Amino acid sequence: MTIRTLLLTALRIYSTGYKTRGELARTSYLMASVLRGLGREEDAVNTKALAAMIRKEIMGLEPGQDDNQESYDLLISWVIR
C-alpha cells in the first residue's frame, strides 16, 4: 500500500463521525502534502483548506496561523500518534 492509499482510507474512516474531526483535519493536512508532491496543486490547496477550516472550528486558529505539522498533531489524542 502507498502512503496515498493509506491516507485515503483514513479520510474515509474519519469523515464518518464528529468525534474524529481532529483526525480528519490532521489526515487532510498530510494528504495535502502528498498531493502537492504528486503535482496536484489544486487538489492540495482544497484539501489543506478543509484541514484549516476544521482546525479553526476546533482550536480557533486562523488559516496560516501556526500552520505546521505540530499544530495539526495537537488535534489528535497522543495515544493515536
CB 54 within 8 A of CB 73: no
Measure the CA–CA gap between 6 and 3, rounded to whole angstroms. Answer: 5
pLDDT of 7 strictly over 80: yes
Alpha carbon distances (Å) from 39 to 25, 63, 68: 21, 22, 20
Structure confidence at residue 49 (pLDDT): 96
Measure the CA–CA gap between 63 and 14, rounded to whole angstroms. Answer: 21
Structure confidence at residue 63 (pLDDT): 85
pLDDT of 56 strictly over 80: yes
